[in-house]
Amino acid sequence: MIRRVWTLFKVRNREFFRDRAAYGWNLLFPFLIIIGFSVMFNEDRQVMYKVGIMADSIQMPAGDPEGSENISVSIEKDMQYRTFRQTKYIDFIEFNAFETALDKLKHHRIDLLLDPRSKKYWLSQTSPRGYIVERLLKAGVENKDLPYEQKKIFGREIPYSEWLFPGILGMNIMFSALYGVGYTVVRYRKNGVLKRFSVTPLRPHEFLAAQIISRIYLLSITTLIVFMGCMLIFGFECHGSYLSLLAVFFLGGFSMVSVGLVIAARSSSEEFANGILNLISLPMMFLSEVWFSLEGAKPWVKTVSAFLPLTHLVDGARKIMNDGASLFDIKYQLFMLAGMSLLFFVTGSVSFKWNNN
């Protein structure tokens, strides 16, 4: 038995490493995501809102319902405008044509349109972002003697890219596990490979065990390379135990591989399997707090998220890497991952068939 499993294990690994395009993409994709988000969410470059500014030399059109006359205002002495222009995370875009700027506003390409000479602004009533920008504009003339006092937060502040890093690792594990097992086994069945295996001494549980061990082994290598590379390039740190982090990644990878086995247990259509994998992976990616927190989301959204293995993988990894949590601190995440792994693995093993008959 061990010899048969070992043979399949080596064959599957060789097949993976020979596909250099797929292997290279598994390594390159996380780096591109981290680099992209590091640039986009850099504190000095991050843009949350976009405000259109009419150029100083532009005369408002005669058809303007609010009046077309220009008011002689010294922009340099306009404290409200100057304060507004100093607001961080707002991109101010100049326009030379009012109709062009208004069209951008109607189509939500900008959040607010401001003419500093006439001291007028235009706002879409259907834009939540525009409402926030309007509040920021009005805040420039409010009394600065506020009854609230700003205080600094205690402890280490976590940059967004550092918070995102465990989520990217978890997402990479998810895609590699689901498609690396689910899609591959379906391809084997469609090409008749599984039918040939069915007349050999190989047992279904031996075949599945080899697929699981091979995929977890490959996941460990790719995740380790990405992890070490990002730590060297971006200076990320793991504030908890590396062994604890390894345990989370192992259980998370095992649960994802088990989900792939459930999908591949009987399917023989690559198109159908690909659709099911997308149906599972895309909601999981957006509901597992990979990109953003679900704090404040509707209760049913959080309930769905609690039944997704990627949620507990990412949550456990973040607590270890960002907060230095121990295995005891993440016992709930470990318990959920172990339970889901067992459930999916048993379901996939019981329902597995060599062929379509």
pLDDT tens, 297-324?
A: 788 888 999 999 999 999 999 999 988 8
User: Is the model more confident about 66 or about 222?
Assistant: 222
Handedness of CA 175, 180, 181, 182 (dihedral sign): positive
In a domain, 149, yes or no: no
Same domain, residue pair 312 and 205: yes
> Can you tell me the distance from the alpha carbon of 171 to that of 355, in angstroms, rounded to the nearest whole number?
31
Residue 105 sits in a domain of what CATH number?
3.40.190
In a domain, 293, yes or no: yes
Same domain, residue pair 22 and 70: no
User: Residue 68's domain spans which residues?
Assistant: 49-139
In a domain, 58, yes or no: yes
Q: Which of 139, 154, 183 is the last residue of a domain?
A: 139
**Range among 3-17, 62-76, 204-218 rated most confident:** 204-218
In a domain, 318, yes or no: yes
Same domain, residue pair 333 and 199: yes
Same domain, residue pair 185 and 250: yes
> Can you tell me the distance from the alpha carbon of 42 to that of 40, in angstroms, rounded to the nearest whole number?
6
> Can you tell me the distance from the alpha carbon of 225 to that of 233, in angstroms, rounded to the nearest whole number?
12
Mutual orientation of helices 242-264 and 270-287 as an angle, nearest 10°?
140
pTM, whole model, 2 decimals?
0.68
Residue from 166, 158, 167 nearest 321 by CA: 166
User: Is the model more confident about 45 or about 167?
Assistant: 167
Quick check: 62 pLDDT over 60? no
Residue 309 is predicted with a pLDDT of 92
Q: Which of 75, 105, 139 is the last residue of a domain?
A: 139
Q: Which of 124, 139, 154 is the last residue of a domain?
A: 139
Same domain, residue pair 288 and 201: yes
In a domain, 280, yes or no: yes
Place of tokens 């235009």: 122
Percent of the chain with pLDDT over 90: 10
In a domain, 157, yes or no: no
The mean pLDDT value for 42-71 works out to 58
Residue 38 is predicted with a pLDDT of 58
pLDDT in tens, 193-241: 887 877 777 777 778 888 888 888 888 888 888 888 878 877 778 888 9
- pLDDT interval class at 71 (50, 70, 90): very low
Same domain, residue pair 220 and 89: no
H/E segment holding residue 53: strand 49-54
> Can you tell me the distance from the alpha carbon of 9 to that of 6, in angstroms, rounded to the nearest whole number?
5
Same domain, residue pair 178 and 317: yes
pLDDT in tens, 160-188: 778 888 888 888 888 888 887 877 788 88
Beta carbons within 8 Å of 104's beta carbon, 6+ residues apart: 52, 95, 110, 113
> Can you tell me the distance from the alpha carbon of 156 to that of 225, in angstroms, rounded to the nearest whole number?
27
Same domain, residue pair 112 and 177: no
Quick check: 61 pLDDT over 60? no
Residue 312 is predicted with a pLDDT of 93
Same domain, residue pair 172 and 277: yes
Diameter over CA atoms, the chain: 91
Q: How many domains does the chain have?
A: 2
106 CB-side CA count, 13 A: 6
In a domain, 147, yes or no: no
Same domain, residue pair 207 and 297: yes
Residue 315 is predicted with a pLDDT of 92
Quick check: 63 pLDDT over 60? no
Quick check: 133 pLDDT over 70? yes
Quick check: 139 pLDDT over 90? no
Same domain, residue pair 312 and 195: yes
Same domain, residue pair 256 and 276: yes
